Chains A and B, each alone.
Chain A
Amino acid sequence: MSAAGVVKPARGSVEAFPGAERRRPARYSRWGYLRALAADKVVLAAAGFLLVLILAALFAGVVAPHDPEQGGLALRNKPPLTVVKDGGIPYFLGTDALGRDQLSRLIYGARVSLAVGLLSVVLSGAIGVTLGLISGYYRGPLDDLIMRLVDLQMAFPSLLMALLVLYLLGASIANVILVLAITRWMVYARVTRGLVLMYRENVFIEAALATGCSDRRIILLHLLPNLLSPILVLATLEIATMILTEASLSFLGLGIQPPQSSWGLMLGQGRAYVTSAWWLVTFPGVVILLTALSVNLVAGWVRVVTDPVTRWRYFASES
């Protein structure tokens, strides 16, 4: 669909800010982002931690020092750095009540915790953004219905809703992901709708309508690209929320079920030994904290560099 005859407005920004043209490629390129990342030590450490965690989860079979399921009564609740006499690999973070290596279980548990976090964010984002686009673009009774649904869910604590739906559906990894998505979709719907309502009034949408673009084309090619940056920031923040909620559900015994394991479930199982084996209630929580902290730090950074206003300031202060 070509807009023949429509004069493309010239981009005034280059003339308005002399020198902007020259500096632009270096600052806005992919390498510019990476260089900026390297300059921010805290965010770099956070991104590094997440990278190591993801690699460890992917290659758990190679990285884990022990079999996460292999235990033994002789090895019950051994403190960290226990070395078994026959010269094996030390149990760096101790063993649990069944004599299983905690470090290896944390590495395998990362698979479940990260997968649940990521997949539930993708699912809730997909539902929320779609409904938000429909709601904001078409308005009308459908919009009212969706927004009432959002209000209803906003009014009810999300963890309680997750508990109830899991009780109704039964606990499994797939259901945990589904439940997390059901309880958080409205966050995206709200933000998306708000942005769509704002952009709808803009000239570029009017121009698209005037040139005869279909609704589908306007939504997918004109609106969606403008939403990507704020939605991306929101989704990154939501990963931390999802990981924490999954941990809470599994801790309560209503999320991930044995023999599968996640960090929250490990804490739930270690809780009985809070007075005798401190390492069982400490390390899984430390890993959850570090993961959520890193995700939040990276999300904050993504927000700064993807927002054109703050990005300009961020890159200017860097040089």
Chain B
Amino acid sequence: MTRYIIKRIAHGLLLLAVLAVVVFFATHLLGDPASLMLRPEATQEQRQALREDLGFNDPLPQQFARFVGNLARGDLGDSIWQGAPALPIALERLPRTLYLAAVTMVLAVPLAIVLGIVSALRPRSMADRLVSVISLIGASVADFWLALMLILLFAVQLRWLPTSGFGGLSFVILPALALAVRPLGRISQVVRSTMLEESAKSYVTTARAKGLAEPVVTYVHTLKNAAIPILTLTGDEAAALLNGAVVIETVFGWPGIGILLIQAIEKRDLPLIEACVLVIAVMVITLNLLIDVAYSLLDPRVRYR
């Protein structure tokens, strides 16, 4: 078990190293970092001065060595826009994005599991149809447009909730709702199909033949086995939330890491962009690691692979 976790951590670190290298070479070979940092209308002199200043004129291997050395010390350079080390700025925003993601999952996951189980138990019922409709809409709606519609209804028309910003619980409701539709649809559909799949297996028949009560068969035996694919998908959806969070944070002015990345791109602040990317990557990799560990705890078959 410990060996398995260590292996997974090593794998995650390797992935991160590869990503850092890709980011470095993409910014230094695909584009000229000095041009990437300056507005297109910047003069040749400004460009040259910046290159001298940040050492972009040095040979590439030397720059790479410096990049790796700084990275190892957690130093990604100073943000040009804010004039302070980039990594702490990005890290400071992280908890707010995690908070938004957590509220979203709290809204989506329990409801998805209940809907999925009910629709598996009663095919063609209202719950079943609701699951199909939600998952179809979740796969077809532009989440930022849904966000705009929620603002239009609940903030502009009804004036129940604030249009944007960060504060008490009332601020998190609309962004979390806008983000929750997609995971709700996907998870409920997978809960439904795995429950149906599992309930056709022979251990369920055995459980019934033993005379176990139907709720015990459904919630203890079937759900426990169905939990594994559900957990995997929930993890994937949590990672995918980061995609949505970038746009949703921008719509609601939610001061998380997604909006920071967009602002950094608009300001052409290369060190800050790199910091955001690496922080997000660490978050995704950690999440995947946690899922893998939970997976091996739930399913004894995985541990011995």
- Chain A positions near chain B (C-beta within 8 angstroms): 151-152, 155-160, 163-165, 167-169, 240, 244, 247-248, 251-254, 264, 267, 271, 274-275, 278, 281-282, 284-285, 288-289, 292-293, 295-297
CB distance from B179 to the nearest CB of A (A): 13
With contact pairs A155-B288, A248-B247, A264-B142 given, residues A167 and B273 touching in the complex (Cβ less than 8 Å): yes
B18 contacts partner chain A, Cβ-Cβ < 8 Å = yes
> Given contacts A155-B239, A168-B27, A274-B163, could you give 19 more A-B pairs where the C-beta distance is less than 8 Å?
A155-B281, A155-B284, A157-B242, A157-B243, A157-B246, A157-B280, A158-B243, A159-B243, A164-B277, A244-B142, A248-B142, A264-B142, A267-B144, A267-B145, A274-B156, A285-B142, A285-B146, A293-B137, A293-B140
Complex-state Cα separation, A168 to B243, whole angstroms: 19
CB distance from A142 to the nearest CB of B (A): 18
B71 contacts partner chain A, Cβ-Cβ < 8 Å = no
CB distance from A184 to the nearest CB of B (A): 12
In the complex, what residue of chain B is closest to A164 when comparing beta carbons?
A: B277
Secondary structure dominating the interface of A: helix
B207 contacts partner chain A, Cβ-Cβ < 8 Å = no
In the complex, what residue of chain B is closest to A275 when comparing beta carbons?
A: B156
Contact A156–B284 (Cβ < 8 Å)? yes
Contact partners of A274 in chain B: CB under 8 A:
148, 151-152, 156, 163
CB distance from B143 to the nearest CB of A (A): 8
Across the interface, B149 reaches (CB within 8 A) one of A155, A164, A285, A297, namely A285
Contact partners of A159 in chain B: CB under 8 A:
243, 246-247
Contact A267–B136 (Cβ < 8 Å)? no
Complex-state Cα separation, A281 to B151, whole angstroms: 11
B141 contacts partner chain A, Cβ-Cβ < 8 Å = yes
Contact partners of A157 in chain B: CB under 8 A:
239-240, 242-243, 246, 280, 284
CB distance from B31 to the nearest CB of A (A): 5
Across the interface, B285 reaches (CB within 8 A) one of A155, A164, A240, A251, namely A155
Across the interface, B15 reaches (CB within 8 A) one of A155, A160, A282, namely A155
Contact A252–B145 (Cβ < 8 Å)? no
Contact A293–B136 (Cβ < 8 Å)? yes
Complex-state Cα separation, A152 to B14, whole angstroms: 10
Contact partners of A267 in chain B: CB under 8 A:
142, 144-145, 148
Complex-state Cα separation, A157 to B283, whole angstroms: 11
Contact partners of B136 in chain A: CB under 8 A:
293, 296-297
